[in-house]
Amino acid sequence: MGFVAIDRAMLGIPPEVIAKDNDRLMDAHLADYAALAARLARENIDIEDIVARVMALEVGLPSWGMVSGGTRFARFPLPGEPTDVYEKIEDCSVVHQLTGLTPRVSLHFPWDRTDDYVGLRQFGEAHGIGFDAINSNTFQDQAGQKRSYKFGSLSHSQAQTRQQAIEHNLQCIETGHILGSKAITVWIGDGSNFPGQSEFTDTLERYLDSLRAIYRHLPHDWRLFIEHKMYEPAFYSTVVQDWGTSILCAQTLGDKAQCLVDLGHHAPNVNIEMIVARLAQFGKLGGFHFNDSKYGDDDLDSGSVNPFQLFLVFNELVSAEIRGKGSFKPAYMMDQSHNVTDPIESLLNSARAIAGSYAKALIVDRAAMKGYQADNDVIMAHNCLRLAFETDVRAALAMARVRSGGAIDPIACYRASSYRALKAEVRQYNPNLGGGIV
C-alpha cells in the first residue's frame, strides 16, 4: 500500500466501539475490581501499584506474527490479513489500542522491506507504534542474492557467503537506526544434518568472527541479541543450539551482546525459568520471544499450554527486576505462529497471558518465601508461588487496559468492531504472503 497520508479518524477500532463495549461490561468489572482490591489489601498489597506496574509493561509484537503462519504442509490465509509492512503496523496498532501493552513492532528483513523507512517510521508514529529489535534473516535465500545459505550463513565454510550474511546484518542495523530501533536479533539456521558434515568447533569460530564484524558496527546505544534454538532447520547439529553457547558467544563479544530467550527453543522439560535466572544473574538476559509450545517450537500462543511455566518465568523476571534496581531492562517481545486463529485475537489473548503472569509474579510474597526457604519449610515456600499463581488478577489487568483507553474484553470488542471483515474489503488478498519459517 505504501506510505500515504494518514486519516487519523480511520485508525484502528473506532473509540465509540470500545466505549460501547466497555459500558456493557463496566458494572461487573468495577465489582470484580473492588473484590480483588479487598482481597489483595488483606495481604497488604495495594491493587493500584499492580495496575500501575502492568500499565508500564511493554511487549513488542512480531511483524511476521500479524499474518497467518503455516507449517511445512500448508498455510491457510485469512481474508483481510495484512499484505505488507504498513498493514501489519495497522494491525499492531489495534492490538495496542485494545490492550495498551504492545507499543512496538519487531520487524524482520527482508520480509518487511520497503523503499521509504523515514516514511515507515512516521506511519508507525501516526499509529502509535514504534520499532523494537530488528531481525535479520540469513536462513532463507532471497531473490537476487548471489550466494546461497543452503549450507549456512554467518558460519558458512566460504568467506564470501559469510560476508554476504554480515552485510545483510549491517543493512538491518542501518535500517533499524532510521526506524529508531535499539537492537538487532540474530538467529541463524546454520548447522548440519549429518554427523561429519561440519566440524563443531570450526563453525562456531567462523560464526563468532562474523558476529564480531557485526558487533563492531553497532551504534553505541544498541544491543545485539543472540537467539539460540535447539534444532530446525538443521536436524543433527545447530551452531547456536542452547543458552550455554549463546552466553559464551555474548561474553566473548562484549557488553552490548546479550542472549535472547525464545520460550519455544528448548529441549522438552528443560527448566526455562532457571535459564532465565542464570542469564539475568550474569547480566546477559537481553530479550525474550514469548510463545508457548507443546512439542518443539515457537508455534503456540503465550500461556495457551503451560501458563504456570510462563508465571515461573515472570517470577524470575520480577526477582531480577528487584535485584537490578532499574538497570534490568530486557526487551520483551512475542514470537508466535498463528495457523488456525485470527492473529489479532491470538495476540490479544497472549498479551493478557503475559500481563497476567507479570501481575501474578508481582504479588508473590517474596519476604515470606525467603523466610520459608531459610527454614526449609518446603510446602509454605512453594505455596507462596502457588497462591500467587492461583489468584484471579483479571480485574487488575482489565483496569490497566481501561485506563490506557483499551477494552475490558479485548476479543469481544474486536469482534464487535468487524475490523477484519472491513479489512477484507479493502486489502488485496495475497495467498503467497506468509511469515516464512515461524
Stretch that binds Mn ion, among 122-130, 152-160, 287-295, 320-328 (CB under 5 A): 287-295
Nearest of 316, 336, 355, 200 to residue 264 by alpha carbon: 336
Stretch that binds Mn ion, among 262-270, 316-324, 348-356, 416-424 (CB under 5 A): 262-270
**Largest interatomic CA distance in the chain:** 66
Q: What is the footprint of ligand PSV within residues 252-271 (CB under 6 A)? A: 262
Minimal distance, residue 262 CB to Mn ion, in Å: 4
Which residues are within 8 A (CB) of 113 and not within 5 positions of it... i.e. 6 or more apart?
85
Pairing of strands 183-186, 191-192: unpaired
The residue whose grid cell reads 512475542 is: 334
Instruction: Answer with the entry of ligand PSV, Mn ion, none that 90 interacts with (C-beta below 5 to 8 A by kind).
Output: none
Q: Which of 335, 354, 400, 438: binder of Mn ion (CB under 5 A)?
A: 335
Instruction: Answer with the entry of ligand PSV, Mn ion, none that 311 interacts with (C-beta below 5 to 8 A by kind).
Output: none
Give 87 or 335: the residue with its C-beta nearer to ligand PSV.
Answer: 335
CA 292 to chain centre: 11
* Range 52-56 contact pairs with CB under 8 angstroms and sequence separation of 24 or more: 53/358, 53/359, 53/362, 54/355, 54/358, 54/359, 54/396, 54/397, 54/400, 55/100, 55/400, 55/403, 55/404
Contact between 190 and ligand PSV per CB under 6 A: no
Give 362 or 437: the residue with its C-beta nearer to ligand PSV.
Answer: 437
Q: Which of 87, 292, 298, 409: binder of ligand PSV (CB under 6 A)?
A: 298
Q: How many CB atoms lie within 10 A of CB 255?
A: 10
Give 273 or 298: the residue with its C-beta nearer to ligand PSV.
Answer: 298
Stretch that binds Mn ion, among 34-42, 119-127, 334-342, 422-430 (CB under 5 A): 334-342
* Whether residue 110 has a cis bond before it, omega within 30° of 0: yes
Minimal distance, residue 101 CB to ligand PSV, in Å: 20
Minimal distance, residue 298 CB to ligand PSV, in Å: 5
Stretch that binds Mn ion, among 32-40, 79-87, 288-296, 410-418 (CB under 5 A): 288-296
Instruction: Answer with the entry of ligand PSV, Mn ion, none that 307 interacts with (C-beta below 5 to 8 A by kind).
Output: none
Give 301 or 409: the residue with its C-beta nearer to ligand PSV.
Answer: 301
Q: How many CB atoms lie within 10 A of CB 286?
A: 25
Compute the distance between CA of residue 312 and CA of residue 274 in angstroms, rounded to an integer. Answer: 9
Instruction: Answer with the entry of ligand PSV, Mn ion, none that 64 interacts with (C-beta below 5 to 8 A by kind).
Output: ligand PSV
Stretch that binds ligand PSV, among 1-9, 48-56, 372-380, 430-438 (CB under 6 A): 430-438
Per-residue contact string for residues 196-235; x = within reach of ligand PSV by CB under 6 A? -------------------------------x-x------
| DSSP code for 75 | B
Give 53 or 229: the residue with its C-beta nearer to ligand PSV.
Answer: 229
List the beta strands (DSSP E) in 291-382. Answer: 331-334
Q: What is the footprint of ligand PSV within residues 72-111 (CB under 6 A)? A: none
Compute the distance between CA of residue 58 and CA of residue 104 in angstroms, rounded to an integer. Answer: 8
Per-residue contact string for residues 131-150; x = within reach of ligand PSV by CB under 6 A? ----x---------------
Give the cell for residue 217.
558496527
In the bound state, the residue with its beta carbon closest to ligand PSV is: 187
CA distances from 132 to 46, 177, 341, 435 (A): 32, 11, 24, 17
Instruction: Answer with the entry of ligand PSV, Mn ion, none that 84 interacts with (C-beta below 5 to 8 A by kind).
Output: none
Question: Which 3 state secondary structure label does DSSP give 149?
Answer: coil
Per-residue contact string for residues 300-339; x = within reach of ligand PSV by CB under 6 A? -----------------------------------x----
Give 165 or 364: the residue with its C-beta nearer to ligand PSV.
Answer: 165
Which residues are within 8 A (CB) of 250 and not within 5 positions of it... i.e. 6 or more apart?
226, 257, 258, 259, 284, 286
CA 352 to chain centre: 13
Question: Which 3 state secondary structure label does DSSP give 30?
Answer: helix
Contact between 262 and Mn ion per CB under 5 A: yes
Instruction: Answer with the entry of Mn ion, ligand PSV, none that 229 interacts with (C-beta below 5 to 8 A by kind).
Output: ligand PSV
Give 133 or 208: the residue with its C-beta nearer to ligand PSV.
Answer: 133
Q: How many CB atoms lie within 10 A of CB 392?
A: 12
Q: Which helix (H) or strand (E) holds 105?
A: strand 104-106
Compute the distance between CA of residue 352 and CA of residue 354 in angstroms, rounded to an integer. Answer: 5
Contacting positions for Mn ion (CB under 5 A)? 262, 289, 335
Contacting positions for ligand PSV (CB under 6 A)? 64, 135, 187, 227, 229, 262, 289, 298, 335, 436-438
